[in-house]
Chain A
């Protein structure tokens, strides 16, 4: 008995990654000004942070939750959510043998390496294991380059002046309902700062994966790229992520100064709910990048195959002259999933350029909607936009919809928009089958070809995983 108790304690205190001191209180569900104060106090935040949170909260009270025509979900009771709780201690298993074999099967199909599988499944990992030492090496490399990459709450403590300068300047709390909520109660997230002229020495994806703790509900990410710098950041992973929190309302702000480049890739496979659509995650995210300086560039690449409801419009504000915004997306809806996703490209500066490539794949009874805005303001002389949105229908019960908004207020601006909706051609399928490919393989191949333009924008290792992810997500969808 005593031994078991000791073992448990030892396991609990296992230094897994960079978990901060464990705090054991949780407050009751519900949101009020007191809760906001409590959150800020628990995090020992400076006064300006608390003030910002309170302003956001007060503004949120004046708003009503938005509704879009093509997404249906049960209304969220905001008073039932717990807004602060201690980082959870996941019950650890001793080995992969204790893990649900179906889950392991998925990990194998996705090509996730064994030690990653252990971590994801909650298996206790040996203290001397690779992942810890690898992480240490990365941290050293980044420090040498002057790159700051740490949890948001750490940045508030160590770099308050940067936070105060940039937080909320791209997505102010007034922006929308969920942005206001997030600003009031956000728990944590990532902070990245790349100094002038520095090319971040590695994909922040690799490092991030090893350091991923359980994602919070209201995450806040801020990435600042100073003049002439470059960073490639990847969030998420292909393994299906479950969470008892149903609502995820994150905010991501990107700022690119003159000649800086930020590449932000997302591969998200939130739990989509069972085949009847129950219990899936609602993914409502506000992501925006601002190309502040001339010749700056921000690219959003996303592969969305999960979540019950996806509602996100990564956007770029092209303020600096000659700045460039890009959006590459593959959104898959199967079973009862609903996706209402797209982008906004706001052209303010001269000679600004934006490219939008959106590929929607609808299967099962899913509803897949692209909603995009291209706005050329009066100052956007010689601005250019090219948009291509294509939808592929894989069943006769799904829906694919496209709602682009094109607003042009400058005569020298040029907008070109093309969209098409179709299903996989019978001819194409027959051609592949006559050459010996099974129907399922043929469909995977054709769907891959359909998404190619987007896949090639992903950091390489994830392009391969993304392709596998698509295959796995499409299983059993043909009909």
Chain B
């Protein structure tokens, strides 16, 4: 017996897919399919393993509308404030999910880095992105983005190019209503090229919007990319990000995610190590200080080829009645021999109302592998606290020092000092 679900209340205002007339045929068909899927499958429930601990209450009593283009002239001051200090980073500004070349440092881009709106990319080469979108996994919110996205950022680094300047992708939400913002980004890194991208999420006002982002990364043979994500949406916002990583032979991907914003924040990362000797290191740190704040990291790494390595390292500090969920799934295909994988998740609870859920999973079908995972949940080390206090440091400061130490393991992965300072600002 098939149950047809009613369109959820919070999607009521969105009656049809708003399509740009210029999109290719395959994309239109695909969007309609996604919309269909959403209506038929209904909202995910806690009975689904993927959403076992996810609290969708933030969606209740909301009715999101689609974001409209607004007046952008007053933003330049805000943008200046958001820039990374003491850095030659090239700033690319995205407002309400749409890339704004006029507000960005497009002129500073080297020739080897092509940047344009996703709409333009599709216009130039309709077939290019078809493969990318196929790689996405069909989960509710990723499909929601697929059905509704209008635009996003397209960035391509040419083969062999070694970037000297980091790219600062600054996303600003200026909407004041309850909006659903669905940008879709594609980053393609060419053979043996090298780039560092800092994804920054800021908001102008303190309203509750749903920022549903999907990002595709494709690293060609030998490509190296570092992605630093700084999530500082406002305290009422909801942030759901899907990242799909396609890693080819000998490519290396590093992610460092810092999350402090939003009342609801979830990152789903799906990394496929498709080529021999590819490697990826995904790490994150989150500190939750608000009542009812929820942070969720669902990381999935699939080893499809030999000699691949991966690492997952996520740490969080939870205070008040916040909740954190970590689900790390490591999957090793039967042919993926000589795999070395490590996964760790550590939580510090500072209050009796905070809750932590950890599910580090291993699904191994090959045999010549070395896979380990570790998870701990606890509190600040009493001995270490006492040690600092006995050296004259006041308790409150001692606690902060220890918490800083706890975060250090993640922070030290950022080698560029100005980028590190920018990331640390939100902590």
Q: How far is the CA of A397 from the CA of B366 in the complex (A)?
A: 7
Contact A407-B357, Cβ < 8 Å, known A393-B364, A402-B362, A412-B379: yes
Q: How far is the CA of A311 from the CA of B425 in the complex (A)?
A: 49
User: Are A414 and B334 within 8 A (Cβ)?
Assistant: no
What are the interface flags for B331-365 relative to A under an 8 Å C-beta threshold, 1 for contact and 0 otherwise?
00010010000000001011110111111111111
What are the interface flags for A160-190 relative to B under an 8 Å C-beta threshold, 1 for contact and 0 otherwise?
0000000000000000000000000000000
Q: Does B36 contact A (CB under 8 A)?
A: no
Q: How far is the CB of A84 from chain B (nearest CB, A)?
A: 35
Q: How far is the CB of B328 from chain A (nearest CB, A)?
A: 11
Stretch from A87-95, A420-428, A461-469 at the B interface: A420-428
User: Are A404 and B359 within 8 A (Cβ)?
Assistant: yes
Stretch from B17-25, B253-261, B368-376 at the A interface: B368-376
Q: Does A411 contact B (CB under 8 A)?
A: yes
Q: Does A413 contact B (CB under 8 A)?
A: yes
User: Are B367 and A395 within 8 A (Cβ)?
Assistant: yes
User: Are B365 and A420 within 8 A (Cβ)?
Assistant: no
Q: How far is the CA of A156 from the CA of B373 in the complex (A)?
A: 48
Q: Does B42 contact A (CB under 8 A)?
A: no
Q: How far is the CB of A408 from chain B (nearest CB, A)?
A: 4
Q: How far is the CB of A66 from chain B (nearest CB, A)?
A: 12
What residue of chain B has the Cβ atom nearest to residue A370's Cβ? B362
What are the interface flags for A446-470 relative to B under an 8 Å C-beta threshold, 1 for contact and 0 otherwise?
0000000000000000000000000
Q: How far is the CA of A407 from the CA of B349 in the complex (A)?
A: 12
User: Are B362 and A401 within 8 A (Cβ)?
Assistant: yes
Q: Does B377 contact A (CB under 8 A)?
A: yes
What residue of chain B has the Cβ atom nearest to residue A405's Cβ? B359
Q: How far is the CA of A185 from the CA of B363 in the complex (A)?
A: 37
User: Are A414 and B377 within 8 A (Cβ)?
Assistant: yes
Q: Does B110 contact A (CB under 8 A)?
A: no
What residue of chain B has the Cβ atom nearest to residue A387's Cβ? B375
Q: How far is the CA of A55 from the CA of B45 in the complex (A)?
A: 30
**Chain A residues, CB < 8 A from B377:** 376, 406, 408, 413-415
Q: How far is the CA of A408 from the CA of B356 in the complex (A)?
A: 5
**Chain B residues, CB < 8 A from A405:** 357-359
Q: Does A7 contact B (CB under 8 A)?
A: no
Q: Does A400 contact B (CB under 8 A)?
A: yes
User: Are B352 and A422 within 8 A (Cβ)?
Assistant: no
Contact A400-B372, Cβ < 8 Å, known A410-B352, A414-B378: no
What residue of chain B has the Cβ atom nearest to residue A398's Cβ? B367
Contact A391-B364, Cβ < 8 Å, known A411-B349, A411-B351: yes
Q: Does A441 contact B (CB under 8 A)?
A: no
User: Are B356 and A396 within 8 A (Cβ)?
Assistant: no
**Chain A residues, CB < 8 A from B363:** 399, 401
Q: How far is the CB of A359 from chain B (nearest CB, A)?
A: 14
Contact A397-B334, Cβ < 8 Å, known A404-B360, A406-B357, A417-B376: yes
User: Are A400 and B376 within 8 A (Cβ)?
Assistant: no
User: Are B374 and A396 within 8 A (Cβ)?
Assistant: no
User: Are A420 and B371 within 8 A (Cβ)?
Assistant: yes
Number of residues on chain A facing chain B (CB within 8 A): 35
User: Are A418 and B372 within 8 A (Cβ)?
Assistant: yes
B residues 379-414 near A (Cβ < 8 Å) are 379
* Complex partner residue of B364 from A376, A410, A413, A421, CB under 8 angstroms: A421
* Complex partner residue of A421 from B347, B350, B362, CB under 8 angstroms: B362
**Chain B residues, CB < 8 A from A400:** 362, 364
Q: How far is the CA of A378 from the CA of B321 in the complex (A)?
A: 12
User: Are A396 and B334 within 8 A (Cβ)?
Assistant: yes
User: Are A419 and B374 within 8 A (Cβ)?
Assistant: yes
Contact A418-B362, Cβ < 8 Å, known A396-B367, A407-B357, A412-B379: no
Q: How far is the CA of A407 from the CA of B351 in the complex (A)?
A: 15
User: Are A399 and B375 within 8 A (Cβ)?
Assistant: no
Q: Does A18 contact B (CB under 8 A)?
A: no
User: Are B369 and A422 within 8 A (Cβ)?
Assistant: yes
* Complex partner residue of A402 from B355, B361, B368, B379, CB under 8 angstroms: B361
Q: How far is the CB of B301 from chain A (nearest CB, A)?
A: 14
* Complex partner residue of B371 from A396, A397, A422, CB under 8 angstroms: A422
**Chain A residues, CB < 8 A from B359:** 403-406
User: Are A393 and B361 within 8 A (Cβ)?
Assistant: no
User: Are A423 and B368 within 8 A (Cβ)?
Assistant: yes
Q: How far is the CA of A117 from the CA of B6 in the complex (A)?
A: 65
Sorting the interface of chain B by its residue count into under 10, 10 to 19, 20 to 34 or 35 or more gives 20 to 34
Q: How far is the CA of A448 from the CA of B113 in the complex (A)?
A: 57
Q: How far is the CA of A398 from the CA of B371 in the complex (A)?
A: 15
Q: How far is the CA of A393 from the CA of B358 in the complex (A)?
A: 25
Q: How far is the CB of A167 from chain B (nearest CB, A)?
A: 31
Q: How far is the CB of B162 from chain A (nearest CB, A)?
A: 37
* Complex partner residue of B358 from A378, A401, A406, CB under 8 angstroms: A406
User: Are B378 and A401 within 8 A (Cβ)?
Assistant: no
User: Are A418 and B364 within 8 A (Cβ)?
Assistant: no
What residue of chain A has the Cβ atom nearest to residue B363's Cβ? A401
User: Are A411 and B375 within 8 A (Cβ)?
Assistant: no
Q: How far is the CB of B355 from chain A (nearest CB, A)?
A: 5
Q: How far is the CA of A226 from the CA of B257 in the complex (A)?
A: 53
**Chain B residues, CB < 8 A from A291:** none
**Chain B residues, CB < 8 A from A214:** none
Q: How far is the CB of A397 from chain B (nearest CB, A)?
A: 7
Q: Does A394 contact B (CB under 8 A)?
A: yes
Q: Does A409 contact B (CB under 8 A)?
A: yes
**Chain B residues, CB < 8 A from A420:** 370-373
Q: How far is the CA of A393 from the CA of B371 in the complex (A)?
A: 11
**Chain A residues, CB < 8 A from B364:** 391, 393, 399-401, 421
**Chain A residues, CB < 8 A from B376:** 414-417
What are the interface flags for A132-167 relative to B under an 8 Å C-beta threshold, 1 for contact and 0 otherwise?
000000000000000000000000000000000000
Q: How far is the CB of B185 from chain A (nearest CB, A)?
A: 32
**Chain B residues, CB < 8 A from A411:** 349-352, 354, 379
Q: How far is the CA of A69 from the CA of B329 in the complex (A)?
A: 14
User: Are B355 and A421 within 8 A (Cβ)?
Assistant: no
Q: How far is the CB of A38 from chain B (nearest CB, A)?
A: 35
User: Are A409 and B355 within 8 A (Cβ)?
Assistant: yes
Q: How far is the CA of A394 from the CA of B367 in the complex (A)?
A: 7
User: Are A378 and B361 within 8 A (Cβ)?
Assistant: no
Contact A423-B375, Cβ < 8 Å, known A402-B362, A403-B361, A407-B355: no
Q: How far is the CA of A409 from the CA of B334 in the complex (A)?
A: 37
Contact A423-B369, Cβ < 8 Å, known A393-B364, A411-B354: yes
User: Are B375 and A415 within 8 A (Cβ)?
Assistant: yes
Q: How far is the CA of A208 from the CA of B356 in the complex (A)?
A: 44
Q: How far is the CA of A425 from the CA of B10 in the complex (A)?
A: 55
Q: How far is the CA of A415 from the CA of B348 in the complex (A)?
A: 11
What residue of chain A has the Cβ atom nearest to residue B324's Cβ? A408
**Chain B residues, CB < 8 A from A69:** 49
Q: How far is the CA of A418 from the CA of B376 in the complex (A)?
A: 9
**Chain A residues, CB < 8 A from B347:** 408
* Complex partner residue of B368 from A391, A396, A407, A409, CB under 8 angstroms: A396
Q: How far is the CA of A398 from the CA of B352 in the complex (A)?
A: 43
**Chain B residues, CB < 8 A from A403:** 359, 361
Q: How far is the CB of B52 from chain A (nearest CB, A)?
A: 8
* Complex partner residue of A418 from B334, B350, B370, B373, CB under 8 angstroms: B373
Q: How far is the CA of A409 from the CA of B352 in the complex (A)?
A: 7
**Chain A residues, CB < 8 A from B357:** 405-408
Q: How far is the CA of A351 from the CA of B309 in the complex (A)?
A: 39
User: Are B367 and A417 within 8 A (Cβ)?
Assistant: no
**Chain A residues, CB < 8 A from B360:** 402, 404, 417, 419
- 16 more contacts with CB within 8 A, not counting A393-B367, A404-B360, A411-B349, are A378-B352, A391-B364, A396-B366, A397-B334, A401-B363, A404-B361, A406-B356, A408-B347, A408-B357, A411-B350, A412-B379, A413-B377, A414-B377, A417-B374, A419-B373, A423-B369
Q: 14 A-B contacts, Cβ less than 8 Å apart?
A: A378-B352, A393-B369, A396-B367, A399-B365, A401-B364, A406-B357, A406-B358, A406-B359, A413-B349, A414-B377, A417-B358, A418-B374, A421-B362, A423-B369
Residues of chain A having any CB pair with chain B under 8 Å: 69, 376, 378, 391, 393-423
Q: Which 4 A-B pairs have the closest CB atoms?
A: A411-B349, A406-B358, A393-B367, A414-B378
